[in-house]
Amino acid sequence: MRRKITLKDIARELEVSISTVSKALKNSEEIGRDTKEKVQAFAKLYNYKPNNIAISLKNKHTRNIGVVIPDIVHHFFTTVFRGIEKYANSRGYNVIVCVSDDSFNKEVINMEMLANGSIDGFILSLAAETLDKGDFNHLKQIREQGIPLVCFDRTTTEVDCDRVIINDTDISFEVVKKLIGDNRRKIGLVTNVGFGDVSDKRERGYKNALEENGLPFDENLVLRLAYHDVEEEVIAEFFKSREVDAVLCVNEIFAIHCLGIVQNLGYSVPDDIAFVGFSDGILSKFSRPTLTSVAQHGDQMGQIAAEILIEKIEAELEENEIETYRTEIIQATLIERGSTRN
């Protein structure tokens, strides 16, 4: 088995110094033509490739970015990830992924692990538990070490970092306004407990739209579910007793669950009840009826997060650190499908 060849090997074979080899391979003006050609030919013949680790140690940066997300088996996060990976790759960066599993401890441990030299910066969506706890010391520490950090979707304002989010309040407002325009009057909201300001904002948009259109907000029309175990009976009970004629669900999985349940209860969608979900994943496109959904443009979020991060990383390398933080707001869009067609 042919081990990887190093500068030292080439130097030994060609009876020149390591420095000469290094320079020759970079086409340095310092080295004579003959020597350069000899070294380059030899390197090519033996397929020399510099060792990334050695270069990282020398340069004090790795061209790796760390991505920490709550869940990878989740359409939204994977699209964001795809956006990150694609852009990062085009810029010569690799991506190390860690899954926090919505656990505070895993998030902390993974980030500490990576922060010890493995990555040049982080892209992060916070674990549910971290949001609940409200403990962001691990992020603050990372920032203190001068490691750039971009948060997306599930973020916090308690840490100095860049952010990429969608216009949750506005789009939620727009959706509900549209439902009202479609002559829906008893509009329900299916949301989750926790998850910080994402859900809060969507709820605020919902309330604002009701208010602005003279409809009363009724807590009875709000169903609050635990994300990780959806209770069918609770949902069925809600729809049997509330007589809503439209529902906004803050995520796709809630929407699809509810859709199935109300259909089993004998309601017709969209005639009896209109449905709108968030995050426009694969389920929305293939459910029956197809689901009207708010596209969060995960690819775009990922790309922008990566752009911002790499910009910070490279500014830091140039020693002109950027001390201001951006919050980029992606415009979500409503994709209308069968579940709201009148």
Partner DNA sequence: AAAAATTACGAAAACGGTTTCGTGTTAATA
Partner DNA sequence: TATTAACACGAAACCGTTTTCGTAATTTTT
Q: Which residues bind a second copy (CB under 8 A)?
A: 1-4, 49-54, 56-57, 62, 64, 72-75, 78-79, 81-82, 85-86, 89, 94-99, 110, 112-118, 144-146, 256, 260, 263, 282-283, 286-288
Amino acid at 136: F
Per the DSSP assignment, residues forming a β-bridge with 248 are 189, 276
CA nearest to 81, candidates 296, 267, 305:
305
Partner whose footprint covers residue 26, from a second copy, DNA, none (CB < 5 to 8 Å by kind): DNA
Sign of the dihedral through C-alpha 320, 321, 323, 327? positive
Amino acid at 124: L
Nearby residues of 115 by Cβ (< 8 Å), 6 or more positions away: 66, 141, 142, 145, 147
Residue closer to DNA, measured from CB, 41 or 329: 41
- Respond yes or no on whether the N-terminal peptide bond of residue 50 is cis (omega within 30° of 0): no
CB of 92 to a second copy, least distance (A): 8
Interface residues with DNA (CB under 7 A) are 4, 6-8, 15-20, 22-23, 25-26, 30-36, 48-51, 53-55, 57-60
Residue closer to a second copy, measured from CB, 188 or 281: 281
Residue closer to DNA, measured from CB, 18 or 215: 18
Partner whose footprint covers residue 260, from a second copy, DNA, none (CB < 5 to 8 Å by kind): a second copy
CB of 74 to a second copy, least distance (A): 8
Spatial distance between the Cα atoms of 123 and 68, rounded to a whole number of angstroms:
6
Nearby residues of 79 by Cβ (< 8 Å), 6 or more positions away: 298, 299, 302
Amino acid at 180: I
Spatial distance between the Cα atoms of 59 and 61, rounded to a whole number of angstroms:
5
CB of 82 to a second copy, least distance (A): 6
Spatial distance between the Cα atoms of 336 and 325, rounded to a whole number of angstroms:
35
Residue closer to a second copy, measured from CB, 89 or 183: 89
Residue closer to DNA, measured from CB, 56 or 103: 56
CB of 120 to DNA, least distance (A): 14
CB of 3 to DNA, least distance (A): 8
Partner whose footprint covers residue 309, from DNA, a second copy, none (CB < 5 to 8 Å by kind): none
CB of 113 to DNA, least distance (A): 14
Partner whose footprint covers residue 78, from DNA, a second copy, none (CB < 5 to 8 Å by kind): a second copy
Partner whose footprint covers residue 282, from a second copy, DNA, none (CB < 5 to 8 Å by kind): a second copy
Residue closer to a second copy, measured from CB, 99 or 210: 99
Per the DSSP assignment, residues forming a β-bridge with 294 are 278, 334
Per the DSSP assignment, residues forming a β-bridge with 149 are 122
* Three-state secondary-structure class, residue 69: strand
Sign of the dihedral through C-alpha 6, 8, 12, 17? positive
Residue closer to a second copy, measured from CB, 50 or 196: 50
CB of 143 to a second copy, least distance (A): 8
Per the DSSP assignment, residues forming a β-bridge with 157 are none
> Is the Cβ–Cβ distance between 8 and 14 less than 8 Å?
no
Partner whose footprint covers residue 34, from DNA, a second copy, none (CB < 5 to 8 Å by kind): DNA
Partner whose footprint covers residue 20, from DNA, a second copy, none (CB < 5 to 8 Å by kind): DNA
CB of 148 to a second copy, least distance (A): 12
Nearby residues of 312 by Cβ (< 8 Å), 6 or more positions away: 121, 148, 150, 162, 322
> Is the Cβ–Cβ distance between 208 and 169 less than 8 Å?
yes
Residue closer to DNA, measured from CB, 45 or 53: 53
